[in-house]
Structure 1
Amino acid sequence: MNYMDMYKRWLNFDEDTKNELLNLDEKEIKERFYKELEFGTGGLRGIIGAGTNRMNVYTVRKVTQGLANYIKNKGIENASVAIAYDSRKFSDRFAKEAALVLNANGIKTYMYKELRPTPMLSFAVRYLKTTAGIVITASHNPKEYNGYKVYWSDGGQITEEHAEGILKEISKVDYDDILTMDFEKAVDLGLFNYIDDEVETAYINLVKGLTVNKDIVEKAKNDLKIIYTPLHGTGNKPVRRVLEEIGYKNVYIVKEQENPDPNFSTVKYPNPEEHEVFKRAIEMAKELEADLIIGTDPDCDRVGVVVKNKEGEYIVLTGNQTGALLTHYILENLKTTGRMPKNPVVIKTIVTTEMARRIAKSYEVEVIDVLTGFKYIGEKIKEFEEKQSKDFVFGFEESYGYLSGTFVRDKDGVIASMLICEMAAFYKLKGMTLYEGLISLYEKYGYFKEDLKSITLEGIEGSQRIKEIMDMLRNNPPKEIAEIKVREVKDYLKGINDLPKSNVIQLVLDDDSIITARPSGTEPKIKFYFAARGKSYKDTEERLEKIKMEFLRLTI
């Protein structure tokens, strides 16, 4: 069926959908119907609206029917699915629609009563021992987007194997094949259930149990000044509850960003990687002379950190800087308190700072690299447990995702917020800011700097351009960049170091600088990651900028 035939079919779905579609020109019709939203290990993510290439009730139902068929075909007895959702437009409706499709297929569902962080979905899957999990979220994307992520019984995002199996089932589903049922009937039959408060309390208690050094918290909890912003998302209640129950007395909330808001009215993008989202928080910090600002994204799996430098200015740390600080803090305190496990391991992604490896090596701790995406860190934790081979200590990625503990299998903004506050307390007791702590690590382990250039290329033409860029780097890569020889070209599509095959190209230069190119799996973007090391902060910064500018000139 071509896109125009599918468009005409959708005109008969319901009156609201029909009215929306009748207002479109032919170019927009093609854009909405020339393909279906792509489903992969990251689930679905797309602009909200009518059409096969958009997020709406019908695409949610179709994917859920495919998931239901996949679960049923596996012959799993008493199958069940946990469900959570964020503050985005239609998130609550999409969550309930997904539940009712599963219920109509005889699969029990357990849904949070109100919006909750993505990591709490991962926890609920494990705690309730469900077959799978669904979270309705588009993470830190603009307000026009929503998404649908699937988790498996271990609490981690689905692997390639599951994603391929589910996609195969989705491709067989016609809209007429989709089952759904009345909400009241689903409740009466015991198929639709809300998640009890005990699940959240169990999660909160386990988070508090990840405190690295209780003495530090006890000494600093009355003096440390923390400003927190949930950026209109799901982090407000759980983050505040953890910090309050631990005992921090001076936690201030950015009121304008406290409550859920699908329009994210105070920010352009609700992303803690964007400096501008902290504008109001920084104003508050100056008024209150705060030690620390933390901000979580809408589904509270990422955390941004703002700290004061020597000049008294508030500086937004990168994900790599925060990750390096946390790696050092956790390992240092495990060592000094005599709690370092037998086979400790830190896990990072291939585009995450090499500074972590330097730090871990000084504590005789192994660092393992995985592909980009926190699901790969979750897979390693599962592997370690099954083989009883290694002890997971900490995992992080450059895009502001961190995890300690194993009761969650995804990056966790609640856990990370707690650890960052504790780490700030550690340095405050030394008479240092977190920024000064970072500088001390640079002086000890060397100067590292990283940057990311993300280029949006939307639509059919954008997809083709991304393919052309990757083909060029794969088949005809530059011999040198900024007068530095390209020493090695790593094509992860061929498989490297037993990692799954992935459309990623990495250029390693003679000075150990690294450039990585990777199309996004969930957005119409190609991402370029740059990493450099130098003799001083200024030298490293200049080297990185030179490499970045020359590479982009050659590529784009």
Structure 2
Amino acid sequence: MTYKEKYNLWLDSKYIDESAKDELRNIKDEKEIEDRFYKELEFGTGGLRGVIGIGSNRMNIYTVGKATQGLADYLHRHYSGEISVSIAHDSRIMSREFSETTAAVLCANGIKTYLFDSLRPTPMLSFTVRHFGSKAGVVVTASHNPKQYNGYKVYNEDGNQFTDEGAEEIFSCIQALKNFSDIKTMDLEEAKSKGLLNIIGEEVDKVYIDKVKELTIRKDLVKDYAKDLKIIYTPIHGSGNIPVRRALKELGYESLAVVKEQELPDGNFPTAPYPNPEQPSVFNIALEMAKTIGPDVIFGTDPDCDRIGVVAKDGSGEYRVLTGNQTGVLLSHYIISSLKDINKLPSNGAIIKTIVTSEMATKIAEDYGVKLIDVLTGFKYIGEKIKEFEKTGSNTYLFGFEESYGCLAGTFVRDKDAVIGAVLICEMALYYKKKGMNLYDALNSLYEKYGFYKETLVSKELTGKEGQEKIKKAIEHLRHSQIEAVNNIKIIKKFDYKLRIEKDIVNNIESEIKLPVSNVLKFILEDGSWFVVRPSGTEPKMKIYMAVVGKSLDDADKKSRQFSEAIMSIIDEATK
């Protein structure tokens, strides 16, 4: 079916309301019509994500309804008896409507639903699935994307995002739905009266917050001195405001100032067009407050509160936004060293990170005799490893993190969790404060011991149908290219995660990569630098990760600039 035929199908359907049809009729640009209908909004391991609007390639109640019917069919295929699904949403435009649409479709399919009474962080949805023994979970969020986006993440019964096999089967169930009439729905009041729709709130919040507080390692330190730590926090108009503040308050952190302009939920993100703690600009207002308050630590959480960004004062007195790698490395070291200090470091402890995350964590783990495990990009693969540990007893999970500002301690959640992150970051900042150090001092001490690691990420945006084709062609070009060196430094290893081949170029030896298939390439150079190229799973972007190791901070900065210029020249040529 052509995009125009699909467009007319929506206009002619009795299941599409008139306001939606008016939106379609008012589109004058043919390219816009094509972009809205040239494909279905794809369902992958990250669920759905797209621009809000009417069309098959947009986020709306019809695409959400269709995805939910596919999920219901998948669940009935795999489970019998009573099936339940937990549902949450963040502060984005249409998030409540999409979560209620999800509940209405599931209830119409005889599936019991637990829907939060208002917005909640994504990690709380992961927890809730496990708390109620649900067979799946849905959270409506587009994480840190700009305001025009929304999304729909699906979790399995472990509270983990579906990985490849499960996501593909759900997608096949969605694709099997050919007509809007195949999508069942039910009035929410009727669903309540039948016991199918259950509104949840404080009873779940309390259990979750109590578990978060239990993750404190140096309990006496926090109990005695939490009141001394000065904190500035911004929820960036999202769902973290209440749970983050509640957890910290109950632990005794009394000196916490919230950025008022960014405190309340607002899907338009008026002070942060790109509401991502990776963007230093989201901290501008907090940094103005810092001139008066003089905080020990500043941090912010993204709209669905699964990512956390930290700001610390450097040696010159300036506040700097730490990268996700830097925060993850600090936390890895703090958790491992603290557990060792109190004689609670297990002999089979393990840290998990992704293949695009700093190798500095590997050095730290080696130093403490802790296993470091690499997984594919995506926190779902970290969650999958936690389950494996529980099943086999092979390792004890200590901590997991990824460069994109996500981390997790504990196992009662199976996704990155910025509420947990906030609690551990405050404890760590408090520990170093009592030693006369701040987090930047602590980071420098780790650099001096383990090496000056510097990582860079460039996201090359290539939108629309043409952009997606360019990304595919560029990665194929790099897959088959014979790049031997970068800046006269030899490439010694190439990892092709799609073909699952690791090639030792020096010795001309190939071996199997024992990870799921993914369209990712990684190149390692003889000086320890590396770069990775992959398509974004949630945005119209090609992501290029680059890393170097220097002899000093200045040396690492210089090497990073030169390396990045060389790599981006290769990428620009491949995407022409």
TM-score (norm 1): 0.99
1:109 corresponds in structure 2 to 113
Give, in whole Å, the separation in 1 of the partners of 2:183 and 2:78: 19
Q: CA deviation at 1:515?
A: 0.4
Secondary structure of the equivalent of 2:566?
Answer: helix
1:375 corresponds in structure 2 to 380
Give, in whole Å, the separation in 2 of the partners of 1:213 and 1:508: 38
1:120 corresponds in structure 2 to 124
1:81-480 equivalences under 5 Å are 81-173=85-177, 174-480=179-485
Q: CA deviation at 1:289?
A: 0.7
The answer on whether the counterparts of 1:271 and 1:297 sit within 8 Å (CA) in structure 2 is yes
The answer on whether the counterparts of 1:84 and 1:116 sit within 8 Å (CA) in structure 2 is yes
Give, in whole Å, the separation in 2 of the partners of 1:430 and 1:342: 28
Q: CA deviation at 1:222?
A: 2.1
Q: CA deviation at 1:4?
A: 1.1
Give, in whole Å, the separation in 2 of the partners of 1:297 and 1:135: 15
Give, in whole Å, the separation in 1 of the partners of 2:224 and 2:435: 12
Greater shift, 497-506 or 269-278, is seen at 497-506
The answer on whether the counterparts of 1:10 and 1:17 sit within 8 Å (CA) in structure 2 is no
For residues 306-334 of structure 1, what are the alpha-carbon distances to aligned partners after superposition, in whole Å with 9 as ceiling and x for unaligned? Answer: 01111111000000000000001001110
1:504 corresponds in structure 2 to 520
Q: What 5-or-longer segments of structure 2 have no aligned partner?
A: 501-511
For residues 484-524 of structure 1, what are the alpha-carbon distances to aligned partners after superposition, in whole Å with 9 as ceiling and x for unaligned? Answer: 11112211112253110110001111111010001011111
Q: Which amino acid aligns with 1:247?
A: G
Greater shift, 25-34 or 217-226, is seen at 217-226
Q: CA deviation at 1:63?
A: 0.4
Give, in whole Å, the separation in 1 of the partners of 2:220 and 2:312: 23
2:506 corresponds in structure 1 to none
Q: Which amino acid aligns with 1:162?
A: G
Give, in whole Å, the separation in 2 of the partners of 1:382 and 1:171: 30
Give, in whole Å, the separation in 1 of the partners of 2:144 and 2:540: 14
The answer on whether the counterparts of 2:497 and 2:513 sit within 8 Å (CA) in structure 1 is no
The answer on whether the counterparts of 2:141 and 2:150 sit within 8 Å (CA) in structure 1 is yes
Secondary structure of the equivalent of 2:227?
Answer: coil
Greater shift, 141-150 or 20-29, is seen at 20-29
Q: CA deviation at 1:245?
A: 0.1
Q: Identity rate of aligned residues, in percent?
A: 56
Greater shift, 244-253 or 5-14, is seen at 5-14
2:82 corresponds in structure 1 to 78
Structure 1 consecutive aligned stretches of length 4 or more whose deviation exceeds 6 Å: none
Q: CA deviation at 1:219?
A: 3.7
Secondary structure of the equivalent of 2:174?
Answer: helix
For residues 409-428 of structure 1, what are the alpha-carbon distances to aligned partners after superposition, in whole Å with 9 as ceiling and x for unaligned? Answer: 00000000000010000110
2:19 corresponds in structure 1 to 16
| RMSD over equivalenced CA pairs, Å | 0.9
Give, in whole Å, the separation in 2 of the partners of 1:76 and 1:288: 57
Give, in whole Å, the separation in 2 of the partners of 1:300 and 1:268: 17
Query: Which of 26, 35, 48 in structure 1 is aligned with 2:30?
Result: 26
Q: Which amino acid aligns with 2:382?
A: I
1:549 corresponds in structure 2 to 565
Q: CA deviation at 1:477?
A: 4.0
Structure 1 residue 36 corresponds to structure 2 residue 40: yes
For residues 234-292 of structure 1, what are the alpha-carbon distances to aligned partners after superposition, in whole Å with 9 as ceiling and x for unaligned? Answer: 00000000000000110000000000001000012000000000000011112111111
Q: CA deviation at 1:212?
A: 1.1
The answer on whether the counterparts of 1:484 and 1:509 sit within 8 Å (CA) in structure 2 is yes
The answer on whether the counterparts of 1:450 and 1:531 sit within 8 Å (CA) in structure 2 is yes
Query: Which of 43, 55, 58 in structure 2 is aligned with 1:54?
Result: 58
The answer on whether the counterparts of 1:100 and 1:181 sit within 8 Å (CA) in structure 2 is yes
For residues 386-445 of structure 1, what are the alpha-carbon distances to aligned partners after superposition, in whole Å with 9 as ceiling and x for unaligned? Answer: 112210000000000000000000000000000001000011000011100100010111
Structure 1 residue 521 corresponds to structure 2 residue 526: no
Give, in whole Å, the separation in 2 of the partners of 1:159 and 1:446: 34
Secondary structure of the equivalent of 2:298?
Answer: strand
Give, in whole Å, the separation in 2 of the partners of 1:257 and 1:115: 16
Give, in whole Å, the separation in 2 of the partners of 1:250 and 1:483: 52
Q: Which amino acid aligns with 1:172?
A: A
Q: Which amino acid aligns with 1:20?
A: E
Greater shift, 127-136 or 70-79, is seen at 70-79
Structure 2 CA distance for partners of 1:477 and 1:44, relative to 1, 3 Å: farther
Secondary structure of the equivalent of 1:60?
Answer: helix
Q: Which amino acid aligns with 1:28?
A: E
Q: Which amino acid aligns with 2:166?
A: H
Secondary structure of the equivalent of 2:528?
Answer: coil
Secondary structure of the equivalent of 2:300?
Answer: strand
Q: CA deviation at 1:196?
A: 4.2
Give, in whole Å, the separation in 1 of the partners of 2:106 and 2:168: 19
Structure 2 CA distance for partners of 1:483 and 1:124, relative to 1, 3 Å: same
TM-score (norm 2): 0.96
Give, in whole Å, the separation in 2 of the partners of 1:477 and 1:273: 34
For residues 136-182 of structure 1, what are the alpha-carbon distances to aligned partners after superposition, in whole Å with 9 as ceiling and x for unaligned? Answer: 00000000000000000000001211111101100011212100011
For residues 102-130 of structure 1, what are the alpha-carbon distances to aligned partners after superposition, in whole Å with 9 as ceiling and x for unaligned? Answer: 00000000011000000000000000000
